[in-house]
Amino acid sequence: MPVQKLLKEKTRSVSEAVALVKSGDTVDYGFGLTQSTIFDTELASQKDRLRDVIVRGTLSTAARQVIEKDPNQAHFEYQNWHFSGYDRKKSEQGMMSYIPFNFGEGPGIYREYLKSDVLVLRTSQMDQHGYFNFGISNTFARACCDIAKKIVIEVSDAIPTCYGNQNSVHITEVDAVFQGDNAPLFELPSAPISDIDRKVADFIVPLIEDRSCLQIGIGGMPNAVCSALAHSDIKDLGIHTEMFVDGMVDLVEKGKVTGEYKQTFKGEIVYTFALGSKRMYDFIHKNEMCVSIPVDETNLPNKIAANDKVVSINNCLQIDLSGQVASESSAYRQISGTGGQLQFVRGAVASKGGKSFMCLSSRFIDKEGQPHSRIVPGLEEGTVVTTPRSDTMYVVTEYGIVNLKGKSITERALALISIAHPEDRDGLLQQARDLRIISRKYD
């Protein structure tokens, strides 16, 4: 049957599409920019006919009405793979539950362990061959399509078409299609670059070689690294990352990225989702250089390590004197998620000539204006270890950079104290002595 005829037959109002959800169902909302706010609003309005509906989402870019209209979870239970700022607040209020996982395992988890009654995705308009493109947030969307009993699509002119693989669903697989409002995509402002960020970048950039293959996270410090690289003499960089960020556009436009020396996806930028500015969304739209692939292709360590000279740059919240890295929680408060940090750390270290950098400011300031060291003798009770001490390689603050590989606990502690804030070093050293983190030689 011609695809346009199928599209006409499957086109519904959003109310009709939401009517596919029944009590006891599990509804998947997708990831980031592929989540449908219109469907969510309508589902919340139909709450009185529903009970025991589980909704799974990831990295919300707008308020979720199934939470706002049902704060006591009488109708919906909301689960989330990775928190945004909004998600974090709802978790603190007891309205959302985090699902722990390594990002790259997402497709396998869906196919092996989960059920999905209704999958809802916001995509580009259907093309002439009958495909809806969700490549801006590829991640585990194709795996969701494979297991979902029903698939609902919101089409939007605002969603860019992203080249890649396993980044679309065909009209023959879809149960309902509704027209969205074509609202502009959520834009994530680039974090401002501070003096601390620049100092951290200054320690990292000299260790990045020509022909390195980059994974760069989000935030002021990664932005500072991109900026420093853009103005450096480094050349022929490749990009194999989970998240496509604005700084990567700058690197391409400065002629720093060719990808010609990558071992996989030669000459191409590989990513699994994008989040940033309209300028960046316009850049990846129908750009042959940019390849959107599932997260098990970007994030599994063996896929990462297949490239030489992989450089992984990530932020963290805290590190203890043995090298345990906390990047997702503070005590029992879930802040973000494991994401792909651990997998990129392991992939980079396994890569020929690869390097992993963990970045943090030496201190943070609490709500009362009091400073606290991010380098601590031990992590606070409840704080989740995102990267185990045995995996940690380079650690960078504004006061220096140290490589923990091959170092004893004593050597690690002394190295980390050396890059702590100067006013915190004596106290950390005394605590390390008292707790016997360091040997008697340093008493």
51-83 pLDDT, tens digit each: 999 999 999 999 999 999 999 999 999 999 999
Supply the pLDDT for residue 371. Answer: 96
Catalytic-role residue among 42, 77, 154, 242: 242
Residue-wise pLDDT tens digits, 239-283: 999 999 999 999 999 999 999 999 999 999 999 999 999 999 999
Tokens of 427: 């106290």
CA distances from 425 to 316, 363, 370, 418, 428 (A): 20, 12, 17, 7, 5
pLDDT surpassing 80 at residue 430: yes
Arithmetic mean of pLDDT over the chain = 96
What per-residue confidence (pLDDT) applies to 190? 80
Q: Is 253 a catalytic residue?
A: no
pLDDT in tens, 155-177: 999 999 999 999 999 999 999 99
Query: Model confidence at 203, in pLDDT bands (50, 70, 90)?
Result: very high
The mean per-residue pLDDT over the stretch 377-387 comes to 97
Residue 141, phi then psi, degrees to nearest 5: -65, -40
Indicate if the pLDDT at residue 37 is higher than 90.
yes
Q: Which helix (H) or strand (E) holds 31?
A: strand 26-31
Domain 195-442 is of which CATH architecture?
Answer: 3-Layer(aba) Sandwich (3.40)
Q: Contact 249/283 with Cβ under 8 angstroms?
A: yes
Q: Crossing angle for the helix pair 422-434 and 409-418, nearest 10 degrees?
A: 160
Q: How many CA atoms lie within 13 A of 77 on its CB side?
A: 11
CA distance 304 to 315: 19
Query: Mean of the pLDDT values across residues 399-403?
Result: 98
Q: What is the dihedral of CA 273, 278, 282, 288, to 10 degrees?
A: -20
Strands 76-80, 329-330: pairing is unpaired
| Cα 360 from Cα 337, distance rounded (Å) | 17
- Starting at the earlier edge strand, list the strands of the sheet with 148-155: 97-98, 76-80, 53-58, 26-31, 116-123, 148-155, 176-179
- What does the pLDDT read at residue 223? 85
> What secondary structure does DSSP assign to 67-119, as a single string?
HHT-TT-SSEEEEESS--HHHHHHHHTTS-EE----GGGHHHHHHHH--EEEE
Contact 313, 359 (CB under 8 A): yes
pLDDT at 390: 98
pLDDT of residue 434: 95
Q: Is a pLDDT exceeding 90 seen at residue 189?
A: no
Average pLDDT estimate for 352-374: 96
Average pLDDT over residues 11-38: 98
SS3 content of the chain, % helix, strand, coil (to 5): 35, 25, 45
Task: Report the pLDDT value the prediction gives residue 222, as an integer from 0 to 100.
Answer: 84
Going from N- to C-terminal start, the domains of the chain cover: 3-179, 195-442
Rounded distance between C-alpha atoms, residue 118 and residue 170, angstroms: 16
Amino acid at 173: E
The string of pLDDT tens digits covering residues 73-119 is 999 999 999 999 999 999 999 999 999 999 999 999 999 999 999 99
Report which of residues 220 and 120 the model is more confident about.
Answer: 120
Closest Cα to residue 243, out of 60, 103, 391, 385?
103
pLDDT tier at 218, thresholds 50, 70, 90: confident
pLDDT beyond 80 at 188: yes
Amino acid, res. 14: V
Q: 184: how many CB neighbours lie within 10 A of its CB?
A: 10
Q: Which helix (H) or strand (E) holds 353?
A: none
CA distances from 373 to 114, 203, 427 (A): 41, 20, 10
**Residues 56, 87: contact at Cβ < 8 Å?**
no
The two domains 3-179 and 195-442 share their CATH topology (first three levels equal):
yes
Which CATH architecture group holds 3-179? 3-Layer(aba) Sandwich (3.40)
CB atoms < 10 A from the CB of 284, how many?
25
Report phi then psi at 405, rounded to 5: -60, 130
